[in-house]
Structure 1
């Protein structure tokens, strides 16, 4: 029978030596460490390590003094404590796994956001959760509403880089004034916003249609990667234009207008996404 009880205690996270020491104290207590070792068969070289472990876990009690003596927590109390701990662990596991599952699913989903204010609120939440880097392609109108959250992120040590359409100036961010912000606004007939946080989530959409504005938020790598890389390539292009503008315009026209016309599918060379 004793062997069966030892196995049961092992199922309650007792080591073999801990189970032998606890059962010995149930049979007779209080006992000194020497007596527990002698009666249980736990080697003297290990007994105090085992007793300390049981004491720290609350399975046995120790009396202070020159020769400490040990007594067990009653079996019913031990089982009650273990049951409560197990319930706590199950509740924690249930909550944690549910949160992890939602997070994992978020990485596969693409969420639609309707309305300019709602889009900006989502961008603000993403800004506040960023830890390393923010890339933001934005017009002045929207930047002014996001400036406070962006400043907070910069104070946390987040690198904030902005591709700006219009006169955006900042003392906390790296700002790249787009060389053709006015032309783009005219050609596209509206404003958009693109946010990339920590290369792990993006918000992208049109924000100039009021309640009819549309954007998508996702952590799906199939969209996060290309959208983030397009923003980075915009930064490449602006660096190149800064250093070689005259040469490039000689080949492709002012503000690269010939390239824009070359890849337009409309006779007026404008974009018609929001028509």
Structure 2
């Protein structure tokens, strides 16, 4: 098979067909119509397997069978097949996620546990920061020493929450970061006391209301790793400790 045909077979498998089903379906479109022998001659599907594969494709509504001797097969049109597979895919998708929803609902009645999550990779951490900040109702504290960690999406989210009445405080000792914060409307900028001047590991800190926190570090290879927790006793206690230190730093600065 050509690379293009291999890719097509892989794509059909992603839509729920088996490899043999995909190959027989493609072969019949190449032939227009044909017998099991015809299909076996242009594919690597054994003739003995073509019959059962054709039965499966017929059950799916993807081909028609002519009761002749020998039996001949004809595929439905591309548009009809596309619609049938789309509907089948959506049904299977709904079935899968309905089950996941039911499992999640069952778990909702269980005792809440203290969850501390780890997330790796700058893009994923950016998304988590935006998600946490988007849920803020009272207060956000966002701090970093790296300008690249103040992305456009994070900046817009901080501005949006500030406009909605949420108190948004940004913190950094680095001028370039302060400049980025200064460009955000209705966002306060503070410069905490700097205990260390050789910090090369800290990434960012995000405190949301009284119960959500994210802390990240920069790894030796430049990648970022964060831990975060939301609506947990761990987050609440850690936020109290950090904010007490931040308040002391601001007063000392």
Normalising by the residue count of structure 2, what TM-score does the alignment of the two structures yield?
0.49
Pick the structure with more helix per residue: 1
Give the structure with higher Rg (CA).
Answer: 1
